Structure 1
């Protein structure tokens, strides 16, 4: 009898988005851009704050220039050098309807100077969202996901200054 109340409510469970890109650099160089502990990490190279937890080598905190009031709490869940890097992320304070996310980067070497990067993003949104809001969140997550892959490709192939220029165009 009350089934019609449930129409328009988004499905329960996490949102998963996967993208792949061929990147013109060795797997070792791409991995360094992902690894929060590496001084060559892409966010560090852009001048963003990335701090390691002195009590937990798998825990990092990042503060990004464009969002200085937010703290990204990062916990590495998988680190296989030059092959796979994954971490959980919680943003403090919580933003919008995103509760947590998990980013899983897989790297497949393609000869000496190229590799394929596959990024699987799994996001947990607040439960019970109306379908329209869920679709908006999915769209924003998809755009952020595509942007992350594009920036890594740009950084790996053309350097940090190319990413800075891209961010200047994005954020003014």
Structure 2
């Protein structure tokens, strides 16, 4: 059973980053919209190499995520989403690793192999989160360090989806300081 705390974290990611059209479920249209928004944010156009990278990564994520659609209605509901991530800590799927890498690369705008506070908070502000709160979340996530490496990010990502400890640094990886 998933605790209320973990449900709140999972639903934050569901609502803020996956249900891009606000329908209350996740479907292929949400991914098409996300590809468009992310590419526009970075100035990439259809046909650009970076656009294709985003498209390929998010199509892999959708392909894996769509397997959580247990009632086969073409959409992933909040309950299906929660069940999917509840299984993650003991049995991560390839698409979840693709998503982790995608998020890291999206945030690493300078492409230097690490994420700093400005890179982190700018991405979350572009998704409609409060930039000041994202800066504070970065400080908690990084434990006060100036940057987070790919190796550190992977651990923080897994911690976000599995930690019950409200103070675990991974809880802040998606730009929010409280749940």
TM-score of the superposed pair, with normalisation by structure 2: 0.29
Give the number of the structure whose residues are more often strand, by fraction: 1
Give the number of the structure whose residues are more often helix, by fraction: 2
TM-score of the superposed pair, with normalisation by structure 1: 0.29
Q: Bigger relative contact order, structure 1 or 2, given CA contacts below 8 A and separation 6+?
A: 1
